Structure 1
Amino acid sequence: MPDIPACPRCGMENTYPDGDNCVCPDCAHEWPVAGNTEVDDDAVVRDCNGNLLSAGDSVVVVKDLKVKGSSINLKQGTVIKGIRLVDGDPEHIEGNSDRIKGLVLKTCFLRKG
């Protein structure tokens, strides 16, 4: 049996081949068998549904979030316009809501809007 690498996203070793791709059943990440996607994953920013995000996009908060350092909460459905990507960190974006400026948000709580 060929040596199947651990998942580059979550690090779990419970991976299996599926055609030309390797699949991680723990986080549902798929990557090509021959390619090294660790470098590519650093440059790709995705929302909670797996849609690609780029600078200037608008996103919607999918869950009520408490904001550290503020008594204001971000409600589900709040729109964050004109996001900025954080260099070297595909799990965070920067943006402003109507009520709070200078937010840093995790992409797992956002969907492209």
Structure 2
Amino acid sequence: MSAIPACPRCAMEHTYPDGELFVCADCGHEWPQHATENTEPAHVVRDCNGNALADGDSVVVIKDLKVKGSSIPLKQGTLIRNIRLVADDAEHIEGHSDKIRDLVLKTCFLRKA
């Protein structure tokens, strides 16, 4: 008899097989029984709410931020369009607002739009 693994997301052991998937009864996460090697990228960039970000997404600033090299602060609610992820850095993104170009922002101050 094969052992059913614990959920990779919440680490609870209340999982069961359903067709070709394992399902977690606690969080509802589903994953394939015959998973290939690492199916998720090495680092996932997430916003302040835990949503995954990708190149080209739009984000909103959640609090006023002082910007180095500029006298104009980045106000809460400012939309940053067409972001770029920084290679091998899950805490920063690159983008620009309407007034300030070439920003590098921490993801803890952003939410997905």
TM range (shorter): 0.5 to 0.7
Structure 2 counterpart of 1:80? 80
Structure 1 counterpart of 2:12? 19
Contact 1:58–1:83 under 8 Å retained in 2: yes
Q: How does 1:1-113 map to 2 (within 5 A)?
A: 18-20=11-13, 42-113=42-113
Higher helix share: 1
Q: Aligned partner of 1:69: which letter? A: G
Structure 2 gap segments, 5+ residues each: 1-9, 14-39
Runs of 4+ in 1 over 3 A off after TM superposition: none
Q: Aligned partner of 2:70: which letter? A: S
TM-score for both structures, normalised by structure 1: 0.65
Q: 1:51 to 1:70 in 2, by over 3 A?
A: same
Q: Deviations over 1:18-76 (max 9, x none)?
A: 524xxxxxxxxxxxxxxxxxxx6752000000000000000000000000111010000
Secondary structure at the aligned position of 2:94 is classed as strand
Whose radius of gyration is greater, 1 or 2? 2
For these two proteins, the number of residue pairs brought into alignment is 78
Give RMSD over aligned pairs: 1.6
